[in-house]
Amino acid sequence: MAPMGIRLSPLGMAVFCLLGLGVLYHLYSGFLAGRFAFFMLGEPEAARGPAGTVDLRELLAVSVEAAARGGEEVRRVREGNVLNEKAKGKTREGAEEKLTSGDLLSNRRMFHLLRAAFPGVQINSEEHVDATDQETVSWDRSIPEYIKEKIQSKEVPAESVTVWIDPLDATQEYTEDLRQYVTTMVCVAVNGKPVIGVIHKPFSAYTAWAMVDGGSNVKARSTYNEKNPRIIVSRSHAGKVEQVARQTFGNKTVIIPAGGAGYKVLALLDVPEKNQEEADVYIHVTYIKKWDICAGNAVLRALGGHMTTLAGEEISYTGSDGNEGGLIASINMNHKALIEKLPNLEKTSHK
């Protein structure tokens, strides 16, 4: 005797179909929404590479763009002379830290551009980003030819990447209208090591960029003086460094007081800027924030140079946002020998 067949009523069939459609909607709604968003924004789905990775060449391109856009805000505020200057606290040395509209507007533009382009990447910035600010800043994901010519595509896990933004380096000098010292900077670190550095000078539109094991648009100078180096330091630290440096290298040693960590790194390089001073060594003898130094560290590493603590330790760009051990930076010099010659400077970094 044949088994009895099972027949669904029209109502049962309808319920079954609705359940099936519900499951399909749950599985594919996110995918379809993503495709729709890419269509509306004009961003190709494959632009971010395989799931969970980012392309360092793309990250370099958007970092250059972010530094330039931030620089536009910095320049506009300064030229309009409406800085809205105020104090945001004091440094460990007791100096007043200043905040201006240039800092805030540059930070807003840079942060939102980088966040929109790479939403899965950690971004650390000097200034606070208002969580309620939902500004949309688009990037067309185009890579300039000058980057394509020198840099190959390279995918890395998104979770290994940290971006450091300095939206206005040398704020003190900015308020004093010492424009040559002012920069905007972006750095990309992978597993704590700086691999991409961008230093932009808003008032001349000059940008230096480099990628470790990739390429750069800047190079080291042809000559450096190890015997009587020109040492560039913060304006407030010149006295501390001068005494130790001249005891070590002699009275012919030149101390160059300057503002801004970005400016000081550029002083070590071959930079086509009429207001850019030249130095052989950059020294900082106190605590300094990582967004101040990460971009310069990456540029130097890409060119074969060094930036370490005064004790010669590598600086990690993960964890806390500060570097406790001061720094010494050089290129095409015996970096280890410099550190050994200046042991007393390491002691001053903890005072």
Binding-site annotation: residue ranges for Mg(2+): 126, 166, 168-169, 292
CB 188 within 8 A of CB 59: yes
Is 175 an annotated catalytic residue? no
Catalytic residue among 55, 100, 103, 286: 103
DSSP structure string for 290-342: HHHHHHHHHHHHHTT-EEE-TTSPBPP-SSSSEETT-EEEESSS-HHHHHHH-
Directed axis angle between helix 56-80 and helix 101-117, to 10°? 160
CB 318 within 8 A of CB 160: no
Q: Which residues contact 351 (CB under 8 A, 6 or more apart)?
A: 286
* Beta-bridge partner residues of 96: 90
CB 219 within 8 A of CB 207: no
Catalytic residue among 171, 184, 308, 309: 171
Is 103 an annotated catalytic residue? yes
Q: Which residue type occupies 100?
A: T
Binding residue ranges? 126, 166, 168-169, 292
Give the closest residue to 61 by CA, choosing from 140, 169, 173, 168: 140
Classify residue 124 as left (phi > 0), alpha (psi -120 to 50) or beta.
beta
Where does the chain have alpha helices with state H?
A: 10-41, 56-80, 101-117, 145-148, 171-175, 238-249, 261-266, 290-302, 335-341, 343-348
Q: Just list the catalytic residues.
A: 103, 171
